[in-house]
Structure 1
């Protein structure tokens, strides 16, 4: 089944690439006290509508409701999820996993089913999943959707060019690698990692608030994924069912329940991490989720000057303050 879907992704990418944004333009690298940061310019960030712009529309358009924008639909994922290309892609292969039920809202808890479908989708690409929830999370569309991005985040040609200049290749070029090492080293001596979901923990090496879970190597069930997700969230809030009044695309209002914080959720094959989000921007710079993984995409070179002045770790620390 995965081979069939991978072929559909390949073919649909050839049809969709003319409506997708070009890869980010590399700007520079910055070394922090614990991490290297890759800075790049991404034009999609300049043109993506904000949450307030969408909410101000009389009847907001739901891009995850049929009929889908021509060229963006890839395939169904089981009965109640679809795979789409992200029209505001931050990397060339940036997909979306959306629910077919338009009533499932981005600020409600993820369900075990959606977590399971998303986790299974990781094998479609060498990839990572992230999810944005809450008013400060960079989420602009209320319809439930998760992001599936291909790795590496940094173009191979840039990696090869810089490979002669640094011995810290893993950390320097592959932002995700450093997180994998940090997370997995936490339980490196535990034999229980094979089959037991261990308690969540904080990676104190990182310059921002976070909570992680190492996923067992065997028997990953929807319930295990849901427990890991709740364990990470519970490090920041005990209120997972706050009452919220939202407006649907047809203008009608309804009540939903969900966590009382904004956050990013990251899912890999081996671990899960939640990063709380306390503000949209700091010093005029907004950061999309993978900025917390070491790849910061900027709107222009002016932002590059600001981030060099205030420091990327200081930026992330302030964005994750609750």
Structure 2
């Protein structure tokens, strides 16, 4: 049951990035959800590890007990994956805004990063289906309103915990100790002319493309451009559409990182290495471990080596299935 009745924030994908309506709504909804217990932040301790020109932020999670208990309760309540879907229906206390007739914004119930939100499809759509133009319109309707990182985990092997389509947006900086993304020092050396390439110094397989900065405050045009470049990134790493009853599914798992300035796609071969799970944020320079043993493993191997182990290979769709 909802703690209170609220009027939704209504947005549309033509909303100007300068309107600023979304950020105050996220802040208000966060305060409300904390007050009524709908939002259950995961506490962490933090350290930094320098490797390959990147100051990685590694967070050690104190406890996942509440998240795992919630997951088990949902499984016990129904044998149907869709019936146990936390997005259908969603918790109204986590609801932030309507974006369009296809997408809405929810708070991430078990957040590690403050004000982390999910962009969720209104109807059930598979997480392993290729992203479409409506996804990018919804993403940039949000991201052009405040400095943020968008990311996507394409399937369980890429760190997705739910089969229902959801993109994610985290405000920047990801960590108070740095004013930018950990990988930004390397991004500065990348070509930003709109051609698909790679980032000098990033040791894991990936494809990178810059955006026209004139589009940074024009969400619809930026979304259209990003969607076209997304298809080019998929092709560059060897991924393609696989038809499943008329729905284009991805041929292999991948992660996607998005800002209003650039986008990067990382093919995946494994969800974890040495027991350490990696999602899209890992390739931005933000890693999570469960305990001190895993922290020691990252120190020993080096964060860049950990990322190399779970990233796929370039140029062959089938290669994403092997290390």
Scaled to the shorter chain, the TM-score interval is 0.7 to 0.9
Q: Is 1:236 equivalent to 2:247 in the alignment?
A: no
TM-score (structure 2 length as normaliser)? 0.79
Name the CA distance, whole Å, in 1 between partners of 2:242 and 2:68.
27
Q: 1:141-196: CA deviations, max 9, x gaps?
A: 111110011111113xxx3xxxxxxxxxxxxx3561543x53353336xxxx4xxx
User: 1:207-226, aligned counterparts within 5 Å?
Assistant: 207-219=203-215, 220-226=221-227
SS at 2:214 equivalent: coil
Q: Which moved more, 1:107-116 or 1:5-14?
A: 5-14
Q: Is 1:91 equivalent to 2:91 in the alignment?
A: no
Equivalent position of 2:5 in the other structure:
none
Distance change in 2, residues 1:289/1:258 (3 Å): same
TM-score (structure 1 length as normaliser)? 0.79
Q: 1:277-322: CA deviations, max 9, x gaps?
A: 1101111111232111111111112211111122211110001033
Equivalent position of 1:3 in the other structure:
20
Name the CA distance, whole Å, in 2 between partners of 1:9 and 1:138.
24
Distance change in 2, residues 1:63/1:13 (3 Å): same
Give the conservation status (yes or no) of the 8 Å contact 2:59–2:289: yes
Equivalent position of 1:293 in the other structure:
284
Q: 1:66-104: CA deviations, max 9, x gaps?
A: 3x21411111002211000011212011100011121x2
What root-mean-square deviation, in Å, do the aligned CA atoms of Structure 1 and Structure 2 show?
Answer: 2.6
Distance change in 2, residues 1:111/1:49 (3 Å): farther
Equivalent position of 1:251 in the other structure:
none
Equivalent position of 2:195 in the other structure:
199
Equivalent position of 2:61 in the other structure:
42
Give the conservation status (yes or no) of the 8 Å contact 2:51–2:303: yes
Q: 1:207-227: CA deviations, max 9, x gaps?
A: 211111101123534431111
Q: 1:91-135: CA deviations, max 9, x gaps?
A: 011100011121x21111111121122012113332110011123
Distance change in 2, residues 1:274/1:306 (3 Å): same
Give the conservation status (yes or no) of the 8 Å contact 1:175–1:294: no
Q: Is 1:13 equivalent to 2:49 in the alignment?
A: no
Give the conservation status (yes or no) of the 8 Å contact 2:22–2:142: no
Distance change in 2, residues 1:183/1:305 (3 Å): closer
Q: Is 1:182 equivalent to 2:178 in the alignment?
A: no
Equivalent position of 1:140 in the other structure:
161
Name the CA distance, whole Å, in 1 between partners of 2:247 and 2:119.
21
Equivalent position of 1:27 in the other structure:
46
Equivalent position of 1:280 in the other structure:
271
Name the CA distance, whole Å, in 1 between partners of 2:115 and 2:266.
23
Specify which of 241, 259, 262 is matched with residue 268 of structure 1: 259
Give the conservation status (yes or no) of the 8 Å contact 1:21–1:92: no
Give the superposition deviation at 1:45. Answer: 5.3
Name the CA distance, whole Å, in 1 between partners of 2:133 and 2:126.
15
Name the CA distance, whole Å, in 1 between partners of 2:266 and 2:79.
33
Unaligned runs of 5+ in 1: 160-172, 245-253
Name the CA distance, whole Å, in 2 between partners of 1:295 and 1:236.
23
Name the CA distance, whole Å, in 2 between partners of 1:139 and 1:114.
16
Name the CA distance, whole Å, in 1 between partners of 2:172 and 2:225.
25
Unaligned runs of 5+ in 2: 1-14, 216-220, 313-319
Give the conservation status (yes or no) of the 8 Å contact 1:105–1:142: yes
SS at 2:288 equivalent: strand
Name the CA distance, whole Å, in 1 between partners of 2:242 and 2:257.
22
Q: Is 1:63 equivalent to 2:79 in the alignment?
A: no
How many residues align structurally?
Answer: 284
